[in-house]
Amino acid sequence: MNARQLCTALIVTLAFAASAFSESRASKGTTNGTFAGIEQGDYAHFLVKTPKGQESYFVLRPDKSVQSYLDHPNKLKGRKIRVYWEERNQHIPEAGGKQKIKLVTRVEERR
């Protein structure tokens, strides 16, 4: 391999590594809306009604603020909330591998 080929291979490898790194980083955000309930399938999904429609967030490792909604969904339905979420590539065996999901990380009640 000559110097030019080596340099090209190095550039391609670095570009691939940078791409893989950027895909593995999670994006984070918040959504304001009304708690609409919990939908149970292979995983629990935290449902939020917004002016744009209904949003759904995976529940994998609920923190204390999310747990009360899991324990008492009917009692808390209709409450105004802010959902803190993270979007990331997550291994979901039932989906056959990695899948981009939005995951609820915590919930705050709004007034």
Nearest 5°: the CA angle 71, 73, 32 is 115
CATH class held by domain 27-109: mainly beta
CA R_g for the chain: 19
- What are the 10-residue block averages of pLDDT along the chain, 111 residues in total? 41 39 70 97 95 96 93 97 96 88 95 85
Q: What is the mean pLDDT of the chain?
A: 82
Task: Kindly report the pTM of this predicted structure.
Answer: 0.74
The per-residue pLDDT for 40 is 94
Residue 57 C-alpha from the chain's centroid: 6
